[in-house]
Amino acid sequence: MESHPTKSSESPSKDYKSTLNLPFTAFPMKANLTQREPTILAQWQVENLYQQILASDHPRGQWVLHDGPPYANGDIHMGHLINKVLKDVVIKYRTMCGYDCPYVPGWDCHGLPIESAIQKELGPKLKSMSPSEVRKLCRDYALKFVNQQSKSFERLGIFGDFKDPYLTLTPTYEKGVLQVLAELLQRELIFRQRRPVHWCTHDQTALAEAELEYAPHKSTSIYAAYVMDLSVGSWPVAFGAQPTSAAYLIWTTTPWTLPANRAVAVGPQNEYICLREKTGKHPALIVARERAEVVMQTAAAGPLAATYEIKGEAVSGDALEAAAIPYHHPLEDERLCPVVCADYVTLGDGTGLVHTAPGHGAEDYLTGRRYELEIYSPVLPNGRYDQSVAEFLQGELIWDANNKIITHLINRHRLIAQETIQHSYPHCWRCHRATIFRATEQWFVRASHESPLVHKVEEFINHVQWIPTWGKTRIAGMLATRPDWCISRQRSWGVPIPAFTDSNGNILLTAKSVARVADYIGQHGADSWYTDPPEKILGADYWLDDALTPNAGTKPNHEFSTVDLRKGSDILDVWFESGASHHAVLEGTHPRLGYGADLYLEGSDQHRGWFQSTLLEAAGYKTQPPFKTVLTHGFIVDGQGCKMSKSTGNDIKVSDALKEHGADVLRLWVASVDYHNDMPCSRELLTRVGEAYRKIRNTFRYLLGNLYDFDLSQHAIQPASQSIDMWMLHRLGAMEHDTLAAYEQYDFHRVFRNIYEFCNVDISAIYAKAIKDRLYCDLPDSPRRRASQHVCFLLLQSMVKLCAPVLVFTADEVWRALRELSGIKLLPPSIHQARFSDLITVQSAEIELWTRWMELVERGNKQLDELKRAVGLGNALDAEAVIIAPADAASQSLASLYGPEIEDVLGAGCHRIEVGPEWHIRMVDVRDRYTSCARSWKRRPDVGTDSQYPDLSARDARVVEALRRSTSDMSDVSVSSRG
RNA sequence: GGGCUUGUAGCUCAGUUGGUUAGAGCGCGUCACUGAUAAUGACGAGGUCAAUGGUUCGAAUCCAUUCAGGCCCA
């Protein structure tokens, strides 16, 4: 080994380093994004970049993504991040395709969360304040968070009209909302009805489905006997002899609804039997056959402590109904209630007989309507019983009433059993307290499945592209089963439902009156509803002369006198407000956008939320759908695929992640995972993405580093057809093609994969390695070198564009470095003003040969590794590639043509061609055989050919000699023009 | 409990209409380089395709059930 000539023994080596064209660039390897990004942002501000982009030419016309408004409350979280980044990526991509893509961010500013926050701040002071004063505080609160979130979004590199966003609290927006309401009134799609709605007794308001959260809740469940009046109807003979007393056994988890009981529902298909207690002292019980065993076990432990047994045959539910034996109301003995049939009665739990209180349950209500039962709801807004109930319950809080009712039942021997159960139960999204169903007078949009509105929505749905495709199934399914939409809320922070009542109780809410109020509020803001008198708001006496409000209790053609009107105090559901943005923004606050957005892009939860409220409203009066495409993304989960939440401690804060990684890394993370499903995120994953970012950045740096003396206008040169350059261009073309297709299909994780693997494999492991020798060692102006530099430039230019929608800061930084190069000064200042270039295409005939050469390279690498282990060969430059080619002339000529390229792709010192039966390669340790070139470090036979440079290979000797001459001839021109 | 949906190496993802020994990049391990250097290259080890049971000559792929997640609802 010692006999091998080594580099260190060749002292002149150091002297040659100055004759090399080593990479040079001011572009730093370390990104330091946390510091750098804000300076880039500041630069964009100075350049007024977003406005510049909007003002430029857009040959492909307008393309609008309409922003779904986040709630103006709290700091932004990862959910905001993915949504806004995805939107921004789409918009930047479209912009670079030549579209005009204005982005108007919006905020949902009204609603309970803000009002609750203010209430909490105010405490008891609240009572002394007028709605207007409270609204002022709510407004300030909302605007504060709009401002805060706005800054956070901009920090993420999101472009948009942040100086002129849409806010649901502006008068113009509010006007738009009311105009939509007027349109729906015009088409008789709004009605008023007494109906059970989800009700929060703490916040004293009706709640929408979207305002509920389900959580475990402990309830007292009871088995209660509703004693039958056997003097009426006919005892089913199948039950055996008629007992002296009998009862329907019901099971409920809400004993407090017993006062409102109006019927017992049975399943028409279910079979019922009669249980008799052995002693005969207690009433016989009617239960579903399938539930009998469970009931007997439970009852045995109950207050009656009795054993029951089955007597007689079973009868079906409809037979039970037909028997028409009423029962005595559990709390009002004199009231007789019927047995009715209902499809929803299941045998999964309970007794198969359902206590039905039409004023306190959705299904109960429907049953109540069908059987014309009283929709009775004796509970006040604050959750206390009114005066219509039994005396011992009047004024009682319902949650406290359970025990009183149970005691009452026990005293009257009507409680068969009682237990505490834990089950999932709806809670108010704000105060997190359990909610109830309570029948009240509310405003509804006719949106249940029999409404014409729903048919129109179904039609719209078919004309929308849903991504992923199952979005359509999902929203269609929801639509098919949805109830009418309760749009009234008993709060102050929102858009008022501009209904008036006169002293006779007639209600004024018509398309005309609402349109009139819309104009007024559009001028004076919704606050004016609370401050200004009806005659000022409406302007003149008013007639109910257009669409009647069904069930509003107003006679046709009733004449209202504005001085006799009182303003209603309900406001609209916030979902109605945001759902109106298709008009209030696209045709109202920002009419340049126009109705019918190209894209809505939100989390998949919005199938029930914004997409649906938008569709329902638009279907009420528009002929075209409000969006052409709906794209949904999933939710953030942790490394284990579990939901992120503060309570489990697996949540990642945007501000922390931003501080640690910078916006571009976070954006790259968004692009790296498949957002169609849940998006995994963890510290480890972000670190991984950070590494990917560094690889991409370093690739840019390497390419830039090799272009320091490249002038596009002078040096651009076509590579030789057999060169690795051609292979590289071909790969670039293919990558560009697929990456742009991936953008077009919103497949951003494919964009990421393409770019990242391209950096790792095509550029770094293959191309950069192969062209090192020619870039570093050739004469600066050698065609071979210039051709590779040109390819480096093309790579850089293409990749920086492909990265730009995602890596908004880094791409801009690279772009500005690119502009500094010679001969290409016409580029726009920022990458975000650039357009995608035409695709690079390379004729494929010669390219196909490269699959064969790459196989040889792979085998060569394995052999180099074996040589490394076997004989300690550390450097491929000390090896010779022996390319074995078939003997025919064509193969031999191919081998000699591609030999030098294969040598370079392997990073070998030299190559030689041999004849063999088939294509093969053999790597040979030539440390004993050849000398290493002191300049290129290639170990090859032609070292020392030039006697003037005995330590150099032929190529290097020529180069050094040429450099020597040029420096001595033109001593004022430096060899390398770096810096 | 219902609707929609997901489950392929440690991680992120590919796997066409079922067809050899299930792939890639990263990470990891080992080694090399020190002229991309807080970089770079090479080689290598990793998988019962969530589980079970079917259909089939043949299943990651089709069917059923189960388990574990997610969103929405009850």
Q: pLDDT tens digits for A57-114?
A: 999 999 999 999 999 999 999 999 999 999 999 999 999 999 999 999 999 999 988 9
The pTM is what?
A: 0.86
Strands A597-603 and A627-633, by their bridges, are parallel
Q: Which residue is nearest to nucleotide B1 (CA to C1')?
A: A348
Cβ neighbors of A785 (< 8 A, separation 6 or more) are A21, A774, A775, A778, A779
Residue A481: predicted pLDDT: 84
Whether nucleic acid strand B comes within 7 Å of the CB of A161, the answer is no
Please give the Cα distance from A632 to A472 (Å, whole number): 11
Averaged over A184-193, what is the pLDDT? Answer: 90
Q: Kindly report the backbone phi and psi dihedral angles of residue A396, in degrees, each rounded to the nearest multiple of 5, phi listed first.
A: -75, 145
Residue A62: predicted pLDDT: 97
Asked whether A474 and A510 are in contact (CB, 8 A), the reply is no
Asked whether A17 and A11 are in contact (CB, 8 A), the reply is no
Residue A388 is classified by DSSP as T
Averaged over A602-611, what is the pLDDT? Answer: 95
Ramachandran area for residue A74 (φ above 0: left; ψ -120 to 50: alpha; else beta): left
Between CA A527 and CA A535, with CA A529 as vertex, the angle to 5 degrees is: 140
Whether nucleic acid strand B comes within 7 Å of the CB of A236, the answer is no
Beta strands in A170-244 (DSSP E): 190-200, 205-207, 212-227
For the segment 633-672 of chain A, residues whose CB is within 7 A of strand B = 634-635, 637, 639, 641-643, 672
> Distance from residue A256 (CA) to nucleotide B55 (C1'), in Å?
55
Closest by CA to A627, choosing from A604, A594, A603, is: A594
Whether nucleic acid strand B comes within 7 Å of the CB of A683, the answer is no
Please give the Cα distance from A220 to A402 (Å, whole number): 8
Q: Which residue is nearest to nucleotide B41 (CA to C1')?
A: A765
Whether nucleic acid strand B comes within 7 Å of the CB of A677, the answer is yes
Q: Give pairs for A26-29: CB < 8 Å, separation 24+.
A: A26/A817, A27/A700, A27/A701, A27/A704, A27/A705, A27/A813, A27/A814, A27/A817, A28/A701, A29/A697, A29/A698, A29/A701
Query: What are the C-alpha distances in Å from A824 to residues A244, A699, A820?
Result: 103, 20, 8
Averaged over A938-951, what is the pLDDT? Answer: 95
Please give the Cα distance from A936 to A16 (Å, whole number): 9
Nucleotide minimizing C1' to CA distance for residue A673: B12
Residue A975: predicted pLDDT: 44
Please give the Cα distance from A78 to A96 (Å, whole number): 27
Whether nucleic acid strand B comes within 7 Å of the CB of A196, the answer is no
Structural tokens at position A117: 């926050």
Please give the Cα distance from A489 to A690 (Å, whole number): 47
Model pLDDT for residues A948-977, shown as the tens digit of each residue: 999 999 999 999 999 999 888 765 544 444
Given a cut of 70, whether residue A702 has pLDDT beyond it is yes
> Distance from residue A861 (CA) to nucleotide B27 (C1'), in Å?
22
Strand partners, A266: A341, A353
Whether nucleic acid strand B comes within 7 Å of the CB of A215, the answer is no
Cβ neighbors of A329 (< 8 A, separation 6 or more) are A226, A261, A335, A336, A337
The per-residue pLDDT of chain A, averaged, comes to: 89
> Within 7 A of a protein CB, which nucleotides of strand B?
1, 3-6, 10-14, 24-27, 31-44, 69-74
Most confident region among A4-13, A345-354, A445-454 by mean pLDDT: A445-454
Model pLDDT for residues A805-863, shown as the tens digit of each residue: 999 999 999 999 999 888 876 689 999 999 998 888 887 678 889 999 999 999 999 99
Whether nucleic acid strand B comes within 7 Å of the CB of A4, the answer is no
Asked whether A20 and A935 are in contact (CB, 8 A), the reply is yes
For the segment 691-720 of chain A, residues whose CB is within 7 A of strand B = 691-692, 694-695, 698-699, 701-702, 705
* Alpha-carbon A106 to chain mean position: 16
For the segment 904-963 of chain A, residues whose CB is within 7 A of strand B = 907, 935-937
Q: Provide the percentage of residues in chain A whose pLDDT is more than 70.
A: 94
Asked whether A543 and A560 are in contact (CB, 8 A), the reply is yes
Ramachandran area for residue A901 (φ above 0: left; ψ -120 to 50: alpha; else beta): alpha
Cβ neighbors of A502 (< 8 A, separation 6 or more) are A508, A560, A561, A564, A565, A566
Burial of A191 (0-12, 13-18, 19+ CB in 10 A): middle
Given a cut of 60, whether residue A13 has pLDDT beyond it is no
Whether nucleic acid strand B comes within 7 Å of the CB of A746, the answer is no
Averaged over A388-407, what is the pLDDT? Answer: 87
Between CA A906 and CA A911, with CA A909 as vertex, the angle to 5 degrees is: 80
> Distance from residue A757 (CA) to nucleotide B22 (C1'), in Å?
20
Q: Which residue is nearest to nucleotide B5 (CA to C1')?
A: A677
Nucleotide minimizing C1' to CA distance for residue A907: B41
Model-level ipTM above the cut of 0.90: yes
Q: Kindly report the backbone phi and psi dihedral angles of residue A390, in degrees, each rounded to the nearest multiple of 5, phi listed first.
A: -55, 145
Whether nucleic acid strand B comes within 7 Å of the CB of A608, the answer is yes
Helix (H, G, I), strand (E, B) or coil at A598: strand
Query: What are the C-alpha distances in Å from A882 to residues A598, A859, A866, A888, A939?
Result: 59, 12, 16, 17, 14
pLDDT-derived band at A6, boundaries 50, 70, 90: very low
The letter for the amino acid at A959 is V
Closest by CA to A187, choosing from A621, A517, A483, is: A621
Please give the Cα distance from A460 to A630 (Å, whole number): 12
> Distance from residue A656 (CA) to nucleotide B46 (C1'), in Å?
33
